[in-house]
Structure 1
Amino acid sequence: MRYPRLRYHDKDGGLRACDALVMSFYMRHPNDRIAPAVIRALELFRERIRPYQLAWNDTGEGQAEPLDAASWERTRRKTLAPGPDTAAFIQMWDDPHRFAGFHVDYRGLDVVPLPWPYRQDDVSVLYLRMPTEYLEEQGPDRIRALALDMAKELPFNSGYVDFVLCSSRGEPDEALELIRPRYPGVHLAWSGANMHMNTWVDGVHWMNFLGQPVLGKLGGVAGLRQHLALPGISIQEMSDDRVLVTLGEQPEVGDIEAGQTLPMHRALARLLEPHLYHCKPIFGGPSSEPLLRWERRFLD
């Protein structure tokens, strides 16, 4: 399947939004509990995306260095033992100047929840972005296998895999115009980790990883099977009381011009409605009306 190429440039020609494949896992756990699992997942990711590679690594000082064996070992050690009262932080790219390329962003909190009221919803996040071309070349089966193997390592509360429009936080309404008229199946995602997830679920997607407490509130796997009986919806039990809900064989953009109505997305959205995350503006204040309407596109 060919996916639409979606690009938004600012008035100076800078790329501010682009299509991509994203995997994101939200974990309401401190880094010292999940760091070994995150490292295992990242080692698996680096191995499985070959011949592509993550070639650059953030030094932690706002600079990028070549990601060789020594650089990875330093990152691994700092993640496993970042020091007292220090959050873990990993940024890796195929090219740090390429907005639409491979990108890893891990934020591991030193304590959960954080002690400040305005950050009570923050969680540890592992965010992985791949170019759309990678999805088309590898096919959905290999992407699904990679995501599931990574998820097995991670104690997630929720997570997803989907074809998305990645946008910088400053201009979501402008980016939204690329998809709102035609592609309701395309998730609007930030260009890096969104830490403010608490135990909410970040939308409805092709692959939906659900853990506690949301899975329990839905009646567990039995409750999911009762409410999600549409053909094409796959419900796969995982260890530690977690589940993967997959909508169809591949990510669907929901092309309105082709008459696609995404009934599986709508069924899951109705079930998850009380538990869905609502975007919070980066500088406070109310969310924009277009963004609020977009969040409810499967419900209204």
Structure 2
Amino acid sequence: MRYPRLRYHDKYGRLTACDALVMSFYMRHPNERIAPAVVRALELFRERIRPYELAWNDTGEGQAEPLDDSAWERIRKRMLKPGPDELASQMLWDDPRRFAGLHVDYRGLDVVPLPWPYRQDDVSVLYLRLPTEYLEERGSEHVHALALDLAKELPFNSGYVDFVLCASLGDSDEALELIRPRYPGVHLAWNGANMHMNTWVDGVHWMNFLGQPVLGKLGGLTGLREHLTLPGISLQEMSDDRVLITLGERPEVGDIEAGQSLPMHRALARLLEPHLYHWKPIFGGPASKGLLQWERRFLD
């Protein structure tokens, strides 16, 4: 299956939004508690995506360096036991100059929460972005198996896997026009980790990972089975009281011109409505009318 190529360039000609395959996991735990699990997930990810390769890493000082074996060992040590002045964060790329490429963004919470009001909803996040070609070349079964294996390593509260439009925050309204008229199945995602998730659920997707507390509020696996009865919706129980909800065999863009109505997405959105994350600027203020309407596209 071929997916649409979505590109937005700003007024300076810079690419600031593009289509991609994203896997994102949200964990309301400090880095010191989950770092070994995140390191295992990253090592698994690096191995399984070959010949795609993460070739550069952020040094933590605003610079990129080649990701060789010695650099990876430094990353592992820094993630497992950050120094007193080090953040438990890490970015990796295939090419740091290329907006549309392979990208990993891990943000780990400190044990002591940051005191500022706009950081009160922070969580640890592992954000993994692959080019759309990866999904097309490997197929949805491979992507599903890879994402499930990654999720098994992580103590997530929620997470998702989907075909998305990644956008820089400042250009999200303009980029939205690439998908709003035609592709309601395409999630509008940040171009990196969104830490401000608390225990909300980041939209409705092809693969939806649910843990506590939302899963408990929905009645657990039994409650999901009672409400999600449409053919094509798959419920898979995972360890530690977690569930994977998969909508269909592959990510669907919901092409309006082809008459695709995405009934499975609408059913899950109705169930999750009280728990869905609402896009908002980092430093407060309201989201635009267009973004608020887009969030409700499966509900209105």
Q: TM-score range by the shorter chain?
A: over 0.9
Per the alignment, residue 292 of structure 2 pairs with: 292
Q: Contact 2:173 / 2:290 at 8 angstroms: preserved in 1? A: yes
Per the alignment, residue 272 of structure 1 pairs with: 272
Q: What stretches of structure 1 move > 4 A for 4+ residues in a row?
A: none
User: C-alpha separation between the residues in 1 aligned to 2:267 and 2:225?
Assistant: 12
Alpha-carbon displacement from aligned partner over 1:114-162 (angstroms, at most 9, x marks no partner): 4333211000000000000010000000000000000000000000000
Per the alignment, residue 140 of structure 2 pairs with: 140
Per the alignment, residue 191 of structure 1 pairs with: 191
User: C-alpha separation between the residues in 2 aligned to 1:111 and 1:4?
Assistant: 42
Q: Contact 1:86 / 1:110 at 8 angstroms: preserved in 2? A: no
User: C-alpha separation between the residues in 2 aligned to 1:279 and 1:139?
Assistant: 30
Counterpart secondary structure, 1:16: strand
Alpha-carbon displacement from aligned partner over 1:224-274 (angstroms, at most 9, x marks no partner): 000001000000000000000000000000000000000000000000000
Counterpart secondary structure, 1:174: helix
Counterpart secondary structure, 2:170: coil
Q: Contact 1:247 / 1:265 at 8 angstroms: preserved in 2? A: yes
Alpha-carbon displacement from aligned partner over 1:12-69 (angstroms, at most 9, x marks no partner): 1100100000000000000000000000000000000001100001111111100000
RMSD over aligned Cα, in angstroms?
1.0
Counterpart secondary structure, 2:78: helix
Per the alignment, residue 223 of structure 1 pairs with: 223
Look up the equivalent residue of 2:36 and give its one-letter code.
Answer: P
User: C-alpha separation between the residues in 1 aligned to 2:139 and 2:249?
Assistant: 10
Alignment of 1:17-96 (within 5 A): 17-84=17-84, 86-96=86-96
User: C-alpha separation between the residues in 1 aligned to 2:118 and 2:82?
Assistant: 24
Q: CA deviation at 1:11?
A: 1.3
Per the alignment, residue 204 of structure 1 pairs with: 204
The alignment-based identity, stated in percent, is 84
Look up the equivalent residue of 1:289 and give its one-letter code.
Answer: K
Per the alignment, residue 251 of structure 1 pairs with: 251
Counterpart secondary structure, 2:52: coil
User: C-alpha separation between the residues in 2 aligned to 1:58 and 1:193?
Assistant: 15
Look up the equivalent residue of 1:168 and give its one-letter code.
Answer: S
TM-score when normalising by structure 2 = 0.98
Per the alignment, residue 121 of structure 1 pairs with: 121
Matched, 1:154 2:157: no
Look up the equivalent residue of 2:11 and give its one-letter code.
Answer: K
Structure 1 alignment gaps of length 5 or more: none
User: C-alpha separation between the residues in 2 aligned to 1:246 and 1:92?
Assistant: 28
User: C-alpha separation between the residues in 1 aligned to 2:84 and 2:263?
Assistant: 48
Counterpart secondary structure, 1:171: helix
Q: Contact 1:159 / 1:208 at 8 angstroms: preserved in 2? A: yes
Per the alignment, residue 262 of structure 2 pairs with: 262
Q: CA deviation at 1:282?
A: 3.1
Per the alignment, residue 11 of structure 1 pairs with: 11
TM-score when normalising by structure 1 = 0.98
Per the alignment, residue 177 of structure 1 pairs with: 177
Q: CA deviation at 1:113?
A: 4.5
User: C-alpha separation between the residues in 2 aligned to 1:235 and 1:47?
Assistant: 27
